[in-house]
Structure 1
Amino acid sequence: MDPLSKISQILSHSYSDTKVKELFKIISQTELKNDEISKKKFKIDNVSNIISINTKIIQEFEKIIIELKTFKDYISTIKNLTNEMEKEADIISLKSTHFLKQITTIYDRKILINTKQSLLKSFNNNFIIENEDLEILSSISKPVDERFFKILFKVKQIYLNCQKLLIAGYNKAGVEIMEKMDKYLDTGFEKLCYFIQQELKLAKYKSYEPKDDIKKALYMLSEKHDLFKKCLKTISKERQKFLPENSQFELIHNIPLTSIHQIKIQTYDLLQYTSDMLSWIHQTVVNEKDFFEILFGIHIDSESIKIMNDLPNFCSLSEYKDINKVVFEIIDNNILNSCEIFKIETESIIQDIENIVTIYRIANLIQFYHFTLQKIMPNDSCLLNILRNTEKSVMNAFSKNIQKKLHSIKKSNLFPSPQLEAPSFLINTISELKILHKSIEATHNSSESLENCVKTILKIILDPYCDLCCSISDKLDEPHKSIFLINCWKTCEENISQISPGNSKMQEFKDDINNLFKNLESNQLDYFFNASGLNNLINILESKEEKNLERSLDTVLVETSKNFQNFLPFAITNALDRIKYLEISNATRITNKAAEMFIEKISDLINILPQITDNYQTYFHWTPNEIKLLLGV
């Protein structure tokens, strides 16, 4: 549609149309007149403008056409270049494919060569030993150092690697190499054994400290049990030379070679000798144990061993199951001679000692060290057996000494003192018990073991003297017999309560004392009846002669009345005088108890008399209350 048509179309629109409104708005801005000339001019101007615009558009399109022609030339040039490049790329691709094939072939060959070289290197490392290394492994002139151990480790590893060859099916190669490595290992272990034996000859010196090489050598040699035992015998032999010489030197010169007290062998001071010797034995056992722990790099106890070193698994002491037993046998053998000397000396000198406190202290000391060493040594060791036997011998001497003392006391004319006090031998024994208890307390950790020990000592020491007190009491009549025993048992009970409050023996003494108190009450009651004359009256009443009972009763009542009259004022005083050597509080309590029983009996008697005779009050006019008042109960 041309511009004029557009204008005509616009003019044909109604005024309400928005486009028409816009048109009018534009026209109103120009100074146009609505006449024929203006309309023509407006039309001419618009046509002119349109022609001008179209001319410009055509010019622009001409430029675009020129540019497009230029682009076409460029595209044609690019296409030509691209075709040439594609041709060259095809040529290069053909060449590179050939080169890639060659590179792949070369790379595959390189991988194969590297694999073969790696296998060869691995085989040499894992299955071949150099001649130089073999010389170090076998030659005695070459030192046993870190290089030697590396070579021995390598030989052992090759030996283990041969098992992999056998599993993989290379039986011939595996067996051949294994046989060679086995020979090399034997050679290396022989050299190790020789090296260890030479080094351990220095173990007889106190200042000797095993080197790391010797520890490692022993650790590795444990795999060869025969060679290992051979080396252990060398250690044992050298240590057996050192320890007894050390002990004898101290015994003779009193110069301590260890960090303990001097060992003084003196007959008048066996306790000091025992203490020093046992201390030396204990210290020696501990030192020997430490020596072997350092030597083997293990923790030794009587139950099992714990490996402390971190060496390869194929040379481990844990494989040598008897190492613990062997080590303790060595320690046992090393200390045996000194222990035998101690046992002989102790058993010979103990016979001449008379002081049971000293003897028991020695036994207690041996028991303490036996208990202490039992934590280190196995229970079946010779050392512990010697200590057990020595302790048994000392305790036998202890018992014999007590029996000897008892025999000596029995030979003398024993009789209680006038005051019925506990005899001096019992008091001395109790004093010795107190001293022994202090020694026992110092060597027992648990209260249970302490109580058991005290119980045993009381049985050994106190019981024989208590039996002797009973024998002495048989020479006395009541109430003196009971008073004497009460004083004896009271002394024992009071002292035992200080030593061991919960001991069953103390309760036994208390029970015996209570029974003796009852005997005294009964005896005092008998005294009241006899002194008062009432026993005659009771005898008449208890007799079965009923014919003359009333006449006999009257006669007895007359006599009883006279006796009773004289008896009552001094009854309690006289009764107390009979047991005056008893503690006053106990004597008063017993007498009052007997008096109460006496009054009860009189009450029963007064109830019976009216049934037999009517005139009993003529002779026996006292009532129970009057008697109680007169007795002062």
Structure 2
Amino acid sequence: MAEKADAPAIVEALPLSVPHAVDTTTTMASTDPIKRKLDKLIASKLHNDPEFLKVVDYVAPMVGDLDIHTERRLIQSLEKRQLELNQEYLQEFEKVNAHVQDFTDKVRTMHRICADLTNRIQQNKEKTQDLLSKTSALQNQKKHLEAKQKAIDDFLGKYSLTDSERKALEGNPNDGTITSDFFPALARAQNIYMDSKELLRSNGEHSAAVEIMEEMSQTLEKAYEVLYRSVQRECRTLSADYVEMKAVLCQSFAALEEREVLLKYAIDEVGTARKNQILHLYIDALTKGTYSNGKPIELMSHDPLRYIGDMLAWIYESIEGERELIQMLFKDCSPQVIRDNSIGLLSKISSALCRPFKLRAEQALAGETDSVVLFRISALFAFYSEKMIPEIGVDSELACTVEELNQLTLNIFYSGLSAAVQKILSRMTAPDYDLLPVPAVHQILMLLRDVLETHDGAMVGRKNSEEEFNKIFGCVLDPLCRSVQVAATHLHSPLDVAVYTLNCLSAIHSVVILYPFTDSRLEMIKALMEGNEDVLVSEEASTILANTGFITLYQKAAAHDRNQGPLSLIPGMDTATVNRVFAQFDAFLAQPDKYQLDQVSKISSARTRDTVQQRTTDNVAAAYAVVVRKLEDPFNAYEDISFKSVEQVKELLK
């Protein structure tokens, strides 16, 4: 097509004639314009013109040999080629024209159809103008209703429960248990109730709020009933053997805090379930053994101390286990719930153990006669009572049972202790010549020491320790002291009686002083010892004064009065007699041990013996001082008497 289009242009661009060389020369010679044209043509540098070269390339195939007819033939060829191209163009144009005419017809037809449709639409628009108005109104009404529907949906979404929430609040229809979905649904119902209440408070008379409140109130009541029944069912299978507590049960108790009555009933269910369980476990521990050692506690029933101790230990461990179980059970509740119910719940649970434990403890105590063992059992009761009371309460049945058993044990102990003392005292023999305590005295003191050491070795301080000590001393020391006094009556000499009594009292004192709450008892013992010391001191001082002859001087000097005149004039108080007596007294000062009583050396306590000696020395020195004061008084007219001063005598008697 490009070739056909360019052909006319090429033909037009070619010169119409090409002059011969001769003609050209002649023309150039005759006319200047031709020359100018040739010059211009030569100067145009056609070999560099792309258009000219393109024409040459197109014409070259049409020209063979150059002659005088070449131009004519070329022109003819070009005209012929132009004619062919025009014919081809005409044929192609006719085809295009046919298509254009066909398209024009279609456009005209479409135009007619569109015009017809436009007319019909205009007619329909005029006819449906009322319908469009109604449609617009309906659309506006639809938007308004949709807004209302959204508001209603939002209201219902805020103030109503979903189907799944209602189903969760109803619980399992088969067994009545609940799942973890129950609690979010319950919280949702509570929130709806509070929101409706707030809505009623803020908007006054609001029928929907009233209806919602009533509905939610009924829903909550039913939900709490379902919750309580579920807790009731779970508590029946509750066991401390569970490795983990069910989270649903813990959440259930936390949810029941909103209903105090139901919470109380649920806690009672826990107490009843655990009460039965712990009794079953206690019987198994007695007859089958515990998990720790596998030996039944009943195997130790022949040993009351071990038997009762094992039972108390098991009971205390069980109470601790129950306390941990309760804390785990109420872990989601407020701390006040645990504080208010833990002690009462443990008291109820532990009450199941009272009767079987009391029966077995009484049977064990009935066959025990050893006072020391009985006192140790009492210490066990006191120890575990103090440990358990903070957990179960002082007024709990188990605490009262343990206290009753403790009092029973103490009563048996005091009776047994008195019987043991009387049994030993019944075998008491008369004092030996050495005046030391007889074996029965040592046996009773050994018994007393064993009992008191048991008290000191107790794992906890006894609350009535002073009262118990006084009772023990009353059971042991009072009969012992009476028996010592009775046994001393078998001795013939008052000095022997005093020494024997002193030795027995010293032995008693050495034991009693080791323990607390003995001040009054020690004072009584000390008074008895001082009374017997007085006997020895008085007798020994009198013996010394009598053996030296000083007693006569002392008696007359002490009884002398100035109205009687000078002491030296009284018979037996002359200077010679006084010098002789002082000489004998000096002999005593030289060897004071020679005048000591034999009974004093039999005092077993060195301290008591030294006390007797010191008091004797003080009495002798006091008598010596009375006489010396009379001798030094010029009124008594003593001369040429040599005597030592009171200080010198005291120094020599040390």
Global fold match (TM > 0.5): yes
Cα distance per residue 1:606-626 (max 9 Å; x no partner):
654799998999xxx884579
What residue in structure 2 maps to residue 597 of structure 1? Answer: 619
Q: How do 1:220-619 residues align onto structure 2 when only pairs under 5 Å count?
A: 220-253=255-288, 255-257=289-291, 262-264=296-298, 266-297=300-331, 307=334, 324-412=339-427, 415-436=430-451, 439-444=454-459, 449=461, 455-471=466-482, 472-473=484-485, 475=488, 478-495=494-511, 504=519, 508=523, 512=527, 515=530, 519=534, 520-535=536-551, 538-539=554-555, 542=559, 553=572, 568=588, 572-582=593-603, 583-584=605-606, 586-588=608-610, 590-591=612-613, 593-605=615-627, 608=630
Q: Distance in 2 between matches of 1:595 and 1:140?
A: 102
What residue in structure 2 maps to residue 196 of structure 1? Answer: 231
Kindly state the Cα deviation for residue 453 of structure 1 after the two structures are TM-superposed: 6.6
What residue in structure 1 maps to residue 71 of structure 2? Answer: none
Cα distance per residue 1:297-323 (max 9 Å; x no partner):
26xxxxxxx726xxxxxxxxx5xx6x7
Are 1:162 and 2:196 counterparts?
A: yes
Are the equivalent residues in 1 in contact too, given 2:256–2:262 (CA < 8 A)? yes
Structure 2 gap ranges (5+): 1-139
Kindly state the Cα deviation for residue 171 of structure 1 after the two structures are TM-superposed: 3.5
Are the equivalent residues in 2 in contact too, given 1:490–1:509 (CA < 8 A)? no
What secondary structure, in the 3-state scheme, does the structure 2 residue paired with 1:375 have? helix
Cα distance per residue 1:112-137 (max 9 Å; x no partner):
88975664343222222234543442
Q: How do 1:43-82 residues align onto structure 2 when only pairs under 5 Å count?
A: none
Go from structure 1 to structure 2 and tell me whether the alpha carbon gap of 1:615 and 1:139 turns closer, same or farther (over 3 Å shift): closer
Go from structure 1 to structure 2 and tell me whether the alpha carbon gap of 1:133 and 1:594 turns closer, same or farther (over 3 Å shift): closer
Are 1:213 and 2:240 counterparts?
A: no
Q: Distance in 2 between matches of 1:413 and 1:422?
A: 10
Q: Distance in 2 between matches of 1:629 and 1:258?
A: 75
Go from structure 1 to structure 2 and tell me whether the alpha carbon gap of 1:216 and 1:532 turns closer, same or farther (over 3 Å shift): same
Cα distance per residue 1:442-476 (max 9 Å; x no partner):
5456xxx57x7764554233354333444223645
Structure with bigger gyration radius = 2
Q: Distance in 2 between matches of 1:435 and 1:406?
A: 13
Go from structure 1 to structure 2 and tell me whether the alpha carbon gap of 1:262 and 1:552 turns closer, same or farther (over 3 Å shift): farther
Residue identity in the other structure for 1:594: T
Cα distance per residue 1:456-502 (max 9 Å; x no partner):
554233354333444223645654444344434443444456556x9
Are the equivalent residues in 2 in contact too, given 1:204–1:241 (CA < 8 A)? no
Kindly state the Cα deviation for residue 587 of structure 1 after the two structures are TM-superposed: 2.9
What residue in structure 1 maps to residue 162 of structure 2? Answer: 130
Kindly state the Cα deviation for residue 279 of structure 1 after the two structures are TM-superposed: 0.7
What residue in structure 2 maps to residue 171 of structure 1? Answer: 206
Are the equivalent residues in 2 in contact too, given 1:576–1:587 (CA < 8 A)? no
Are the equivalent residues in 2 in contact too, given 1:275–1:365 (CA < 8 A)? yes
Go from structure 1 to structure 2 and tell me whether the alpha carbon gap of 1:393 and 1:238 turns closer, same or farther (over 3 Å shift): same
Cα distance per residue 1:99-120 (max 9 Å; x no partner):
xxxxxxxxx9999889756643
Go from structure 1 to structure 2 and tell me whether the alpha carbon gap of 1:123 and 1:417 turns closer, same or farther (over 3 Å shift): farther
Q: Distance in 1 between matches of 2:282 and 2:159?
A: 54
Q: Distance in 1 between matches of 2:444 and 2:424?
A: 12
Go from structure 1 to structure 2 and tell me whether the alpha carbon gap of 1:172 and 1:483 turns closer, same or farther (over 3 Å shift): farther
Q: Distance in 2 between matches of 1:146 and 1:592?
A: 91
Are the equivalent residues in 2 in contact too, given 1:434–1:499 (CA < 8 A)? no
Q: Distance in 2 between matches of 1:376 and 1:264?
A: 26
Q: Distance in 1 between matches of 2:650 and 2:236?
A: 100
Q: Distance in 2 between matches of 1:260 and 1:436?
A: 33
Are the equivalent residues in 2 in contact too, given 1:532–1:560 (CA < 8 A)? no
Kindly state the Cα deviation for residue 390 of structure 1 after the two structures are TM-superposed: 1.7
Kindly state the Cα deviation for residue 282 of structure 1 after the two structures are TM-superposed: 0.7
Kindly state the Cα deviation for residue 212 of structure 1 after the two structures are TM-superposed: 0.6
Kindly state the Cα deviation for residue 211 of structure 1 after the two structures are TM-superposed: 0.8
What secondary structure, in the 3-state scheme, does the structure 2 residue paired with 1:376 have? helix
TM-score, normalised to structure 2's length?
A: 0.64
Residue identity in the other structure for 1:473: Q
What residue in structure 1 maps to residue 44 of structure 2? Answer: none
Are the equivalent residues in 1 in contact too, given 2:512–2:522 (CA < 8 A)? no
Residue identity in the other structure for 1:400: S
Cα distance per residue 1:366-404 (max 9 Å; x no partner):
111111112222222222222222222212222222222
Go from structure 1 to structure 2 and tell me whether the alpha carbon gap of 1:360 and 1:352 turns closer, same or farther (over 3 Å shift): same
Q: Distance in 1 between matches of 2:275 and 2:610?
A: 74
Moved more, 323-332 or 333-342: 323-332
Cα distance per residue 1:159-214 (max 9 Å; x no partner):
22221121021432222111111221222222222222222221257447531112
Residue identity in the other structure for 2:600: I
Are the equivalent residues in 2 in contact too, given 1:140–1:191 (CA < 8 A)? no
Q: Distance in 2 between matches of 1:614 and 1:601?
A: 20
TM-score, normalised to structure 1's length?
A: 0.65
CA RMSD of aligned residues (A): 4.6
Q: Distance in 2 between matches of 1:365 and 1:629?
A: 58
Are the equivalent residues in 1 in contact too, given 2:537–2:613 (CA < 8 A)? yes
What secondary structure, in the 3-state scheme, does the structure 2 residue paired with 1:146 have? coil
Q: Distance in 1 between matches of 2:225 and 2:466?
A: 60
Residues matched between the structures, number: 501
Q: Distance in 2 between matches of 1:470 and 1:294?
A: 60
Residue identity in the other structure for 1:249: D
Structure 1 gap ranges (5+): 1-107, 299-305, 309-317
Q: Distance in 1 between matches of 2:636 and 2:181?
A: 127
What residue in structure 1 maps to residue 36 of structure 2? Answer: none
Are the equivalent residues in 1 in contact too, given 2:550–2:581 (CA < 8 A)? no
Residue identity in the other structure for 2:485: S
Residue identity in the other structure for 2:194: L
Go from structure 1 to structure 2 and tell me whether the alpha carbon gap of 1:497 and 1:225 turns closer, same or farther (over 3 Å shift): same
What residue in structure 2 maps to residue 151 of structure 1? Answer: 185
Residue identity in the other structure for 2:170: S
Which of residues 191, 216, 226 is equivalent to 1:181? 216
Kindly state the Cα deviation for residue 514 of structure 1 after the two structures are TM-superposed: 7.8
